[in-house]
């Protein structure tokens, strides 16, 4: 009788702990990825003639190199996708900065952490051009 009362509470606590760890792993991985993307852009990853699709594919290449499969881990589905609210421009000279923002959806396995719907990170870096 007591086990039937305690088991759902223990499972809820366990799933919440797993979700909390997953969320912060995703946040740390996105933070590293956004820093690496900003660094790559500041070193000349983009050219002025790059279109939106080219920029997106180059950014995804860097993200998958730093944190492979992180969007799928966050969304618990494949294929998973990243959201780039704005695509940064190519660095024209060293007097400017580049800023990157990366967002991915986060699907929790626990009903308590449903307010963590997105994981996002942003980074900026001075252009080295």
Annotate 10-29 with DSSP letters as a single string: HHHHHHHHHHHHHHHHHHHH
Q: What would the two tokens of residue 81 be?
A: 């996708």
| 91 — pLDDT class (breaks 50, 70, 90) | confident
Give me the residue spans of the domains in the chain: 2-126
60: pLDDT strictly greater than 80: yes
Q: Average pLDDT, stretch 86-91?
A: 85
124: pLDDT strictly greater than 70: yes
Q: Average pLDDT, stretch 74-98?
A: 82
| 31 — pLDDT class (breaks 50, 70, 90) | very high
* Residue 58 half-sphere exposure toward CB, CA atoms < 13 A: 20
Instruction: Tell me which residue of 10, 33, 42, 16 sits closest to 108, measured CA to CA.
Output: 16
Q: What is the predicted pLDDT for the residue at 129?
A: 63
**Predicted TM-score (pTM) of this structure:** 0.84
């Amino acid at each position: 009788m007591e086990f039937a009362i305690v088991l759902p509470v223990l499972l809820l606590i366990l799933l919440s702990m797993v979700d909390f760890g997953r969320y912060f792993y995703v946040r740390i991985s996105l933070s590293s990825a956004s820093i690496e993307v900003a660094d790559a852009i500041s070193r000349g990853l983009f050219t002025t003639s790059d279109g939106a699709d080219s920029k997106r594919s180059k950014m995804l290449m860097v993200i998958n190199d730093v944190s492979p499969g992180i969007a799928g881990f966050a969304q618990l589905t494949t294929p998973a996708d990243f959201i780039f609210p704005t695509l940064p421009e190519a660095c024209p000279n060293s007097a400017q900065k580049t800023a990157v923002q990366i967002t991915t959806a986060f699907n929790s396995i626990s009903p308590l952490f449903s307010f963590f719907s997105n994981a996002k990170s942003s980074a900026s870096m001075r252009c080295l051009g």
